A and B are shown apart, each in its own frame.
Chain A
Amino acid sequence: MNNVFERNQAFHDAWDKKTIRIGFWSLLIACAASFAPPVLLWLIWGIIPPIGTLLEAWKLILLAYGAFHIIEPISYYSVYGLSGTYMSFLSGNNSNMRVPAASTAQDILGIEPGTDKAEIVTTLAIAGSVIVNLCVLFIGIVFGAQIVAHIPENIKNGLSNYILPTMFGALYATMAVKDKYMAVVCLVLCIVAKLIGLPSWAFLIIAVFGSIGASRILYVKGIIK
C-alpha cells in the first residue's frame, strides 16, 4: 500500500493553528501564574531570599534538570502529538500518567499510532487523565493526612513502591504482544544503558531514539511491517 503523502489537509487546517494558539497562551499564563506564590510571599510578608541565593538555586535547578527541559519535549513528542504535548507539559506526570493514557486509549480503540485519528484520541485520553488526576490529588491535599494516618505501614509501602513498577510491567506486556522483537531489543538496550550508569538525560535519549533507530533497522530489513 502506498501511504506516502496521504495527509488530511482539511483536518490539519482546522486543527493545528488553533491547537498551537491554545497551547502557547495556556503555557505562558501558567508560567506566570506559577511564580505567584513566591511573589506573594515577597509582596505581602516581605519574604524574599537574597538575589545571590536565588541565582544559586536557579543554577542548581539548571544543572539538575536543564537538559530535561529540552530533551523531554523532543523525546515525548511523537507519542503525544501537538495538543498532547501542550497538555502533558503543562500538567506533568508524563511517564506515569499521560503516556499510559495515550497508549491505552489507542490500544483499546484500535487506533494506529501517529495518525490524525490518534491525535484526537490522544488529546481526549490525556485530557481525561488530567481531570481525574487533579480531582484525586485534591482529595489527597484535603484529606491526605487523615487517610495516610489510617493506612497500615506495609500497605503504605506497597502503594508508594509497587503501583508504578507493576503498571510499567503491565504496559510493557501490551506493547510486547504487538511486537516481541522490539520489546526485547528496547528492554535490553535500556537495561544495558542503566547498568553502565549513564546520566539519566542521556539514558532518556538512548531509550527513545535508540528504540526508534532499532525500529528503523527492523522496518527496512522487513522484519517488522
Chain B
Amino acid sequence: MEENILSVANSWPIWIAAAVLVTTVVTQSVIYIKHAYNNAPLVGVTPAECKEAVRIGMVTSIGPTIAIFIVVVSMMIVVGAPITWMRLSMIGSASTELTACTLGAQAYGVELGGEGYNLEAMATAWWAMSFNGAGWLLICAFLTPHLEKVRMRVSGGDMRWLSLITSAAMLGLYAYMLAPYMVGMGGQCFVAIVGFVVMYILIKLSAKFKWLKEWNLGIAILIGTAAGIIFA
C-alpha cells in the first residue's frame, strides 16, 4: 500500500462529499418522521405511541451498530475515514461494502491494501461501492410504488392474510439470518441459542412486569454476548 493514499482519501473535499450524503439520509428520516406524525391521527395512532415507536427504533439499533465498530476501523485504514463514514451510513451492510472494495481492487488487479494498491486502485474500490449502492437506490426509487399494488393484489383485500404475509416474511428473514449460525454449530450457534432462551424467559416475565418489555432485547443481547465471551 502506498503512503500518500490516506492523505488524499482523508482530505476535506472528500469529507464534504460524504457529509452531503449523510445529510441526505438524515433529512429523509426527519421528513418521514414529520409525515408520519401528521398522518398518525388518521389511523388512530396517538402522539405518545409515535414517540414510543421512535424510541424503540433508537434502542434496537444501538447493539447492531456497535457490532460493526471493528469493521469501521479496518475499513478506514484501506479506503479512508470519510468514505467509510459515507458507505456505512447508506445501503450496503459493512460486509457488503468490504466485499465491494475487494472486488474493485481485484478489477484493478491488486489486493485491497496489499502490494501495488495505489490511488487508482483505491479509486476503483470507491467506484465499485458506488456502483453497488446505486443498484439498490435506483431499483427502489422506481420499483417501490409498484410493490404496494402487488401486495394489495396478492392479499386479495383479506386484511388478516395481509397481516400473516408480513409476519411470515419477518419470520423468514430472521430464519434466513439465523440458519447460517445454526449450521455453523460453533460459538455463534451457542450464543444464538442463549439469546433465544433468555428472550423466551424475559417474554414470559414481562407478561407480569410490563415495564420490562422494552428492555428485553437489550438484556438478551448483553447476556448472550457475555456468555459467548466467557464460555465459547
- Would you list which residues of chain B between 51 and 87 have a CB under 8 Å from chain A? 52-73, 76, 81-86
B100 with A61: CB separation less than 8 A: yes
Q: Mark B190-203, 1 if CB is under 8 A from A, else 0.
A: 01111111111001
In Å, the complex CA distance between A224 and B168 comes to: 12
A22 with B28: CB separation less than 8 A: yes
The answer to whether residues A95 and B177 also contact, given A22-B32, A113-B163, A158-B228 and a CB cut-off of 8 A, is: yes
Tell me the minimal C-beta distance from B65 to chain A in angstroms.
Answer: 4
The answer to whether residues A109 and B119 also contact, given A137-B65, A148-B70, A161-B228 and a CB cut-off of 8 A, is: no
A162 with B188: CB separation less than 8 A: yes
Q: Mark B16-56, 1 if CB is under 8 A from A, else 0.
A: 01101110111111111101111110111100011011111
B168 with A31: CB separation less than 8 A: no
B72 with A140: CB separation less than 8 A: yes
In Å, the complex CA distance between A126 and B175 comes to: 21
B141 partner residues in chain A, CB cutoff 8 A: 23-24, 27-28, 31
A132 with B140: CB separation less than 8 A: no
- Would you list which residues of chain A between 173 and 208 have a CB under 8 Å from chain B? 173-179, 182-183, 186-187, 189-191, 193-195, 203-204, 207-208
Interface residues on A, range: 35 or more
Q: Would you list 16 pairs from A and B whose C-beta atoms are within 8 A, ordered by A residue?
A: A15-B39, A41-B8, A65-B100, A82-B145, A87-B29, A92-B93, A97-B65, A99-B174, A109-B53, A127-B36, A129-B60, A140-B69, A167-B224, A169-B192, A170-B220, A194-B180
A59 partner residues in chain B, CB cutoff 8 A: 107
Assess whether B178 is interfacial by the CB under 8 Å rule: yes
B221 with A57: CB separation less than 8 A: no
Residue of A nearest to B148 (CB): A82
B163 partner residues in chain A, CB cutoff 8 A: 112-115
- Identify A130's interface contact among B25, B70, B119, CB under 8 A: B25
Which of A56, A69, A157 is most buried by chain B, counting CB atoms within 10 A of its CB? A69
Tell me the minimal C-beta distance from B39 to chain A in angstroms.
Answer: 5
A4 with B157: CB separation less than 8 A: yes
